[in-house]
Amino acid sequence: MPPDALASLARRYEVTNGRSFKLKHYEPGDTAGLDLKDGAGDLLEQGVRRTADLQERLYAQDRWAVLLILQAMDAAGKDSTIKHVMSGVNPQGCDVHAFKAPSAEELDHDFLWRASRALPRRGHIGIFNRSYYEEVLVVRVHPELLARQQLPDRVVTTRIWKERFDDIRAFEAYLGRQGVVVRKIFLHVSPDEQRRRFLSRLREPEKHWKFALADVHERRHFADYMDAYQDAIAHTATRQAPWYVVPADRKWFTRLVVSSILVRTLEELKPAFPEIDGRKRRELRVAEAALMAEERA
């Protein structure tokens, strides 16, 4: 496998302008011509080590924050992708937040409120397992959920989805101006592969906890969700906050691509350990002398 293969994967699936975006042009089973035999495991390990090094510098520099948003259908592999790609990262500088159905308190606020509260600090990598995009995905597929949000009637118009896209773009542009780098990933799984993974969960007792009957019911809306993703990505992909449509039928490949995205994002920031001034150097010399004196005593 060429040494620059990992870096090229991120570019292959990046969407920075949604005007001509078509989800149908992205195949869930694509592996970019690679095979497990090509050393995918070694390449992922390289990505994990590089991520760990860059994250340490990001944390020490304490200037930028990185927000990685993962969106997907059920069983697309969000949890396992996070586990493998972030396996070498210091937990002190990484925060993972999973968004479930909104609580009563969250429904009493604007739809971006709960995400705002979970944003990563400077020097941190934040991962959203689902996000505010649920408000233009699941809520769009199930419009009855909109009625529970207690919005004034006058703001619930036929333009509400376009207005939410506008709000999301503005929110992400604001974050970028505050030093929060946003990267959005759609793990694109096929309905056939999702079915296989559901069956695997049913047949393996240790995976039963992952299964919910509602997941099967949602399969009836698979096509509606793809339409919603098509629209969401087309309306919110920007150069500052791009989308990545990552094939998810082969988990090993999914992890490689996500690792590539994260490494590329961190490398673009050029994080570096802070340089110390003359005063700090003198303090370090004094500390070293004191410790050496203890040894001689």
Q: Over the stretch 180-221, which tens digit does the pLDDT of each residue have? A: 999 999 999 999 999 999 999 998 888 888 778 888 889 999
User: What is the Cα–Cα distance from 57 to 272, expressed in whole angstroms?
Assistant: 5
User: What is the Cα–Cα distance from 119 to 93, expressed in whole angstroms?
Assistant: 13
Q: What is the pLDDT of residues 233-268, one digit of tens each?
A: 999 999 999 999 999 999 999 999 999 999 999 999
N-terminal to C-terminal alpha carbon distance within the chain = 57
Question: 157, 198, 185: which is closest to 75 by C-alpha?
Answer: 198
Span 144-156, mean pLDDT?
A: 94
Q: How do 243-247 and 180-188 pair as beta strands?
A: parallel
User: What is the Cα–Cα distance from 106 to 118, expressed in whole angstroms?
Assistant: 13
Find tokens 């604007």 and name the residue: 110
Task: Mention every residue, 6+ apart, whose C-beta is less than 8 A from residue 202.
Answer: 208, 211
**DSSP state, residue 169:** H
Q: What is the pLDDT of residues 51-104, one digit of tens each?
A: 999 999 999 999 999 999 999 999 999 999 999 999 999 999 999 999 999 999
Q: What percent of the chain has pLDDT over 90?
A: 80
- Rounded to 5°, angle at Cα 279 from 275 and 281: 60
The three-state secondary structure class of 108 is coil
Under 8 Å between Cβ of 244 and 185: yes
User: What is the Cα–Cα distance from 287 to 181, expressed in whole angstroms?
Assistant: 38
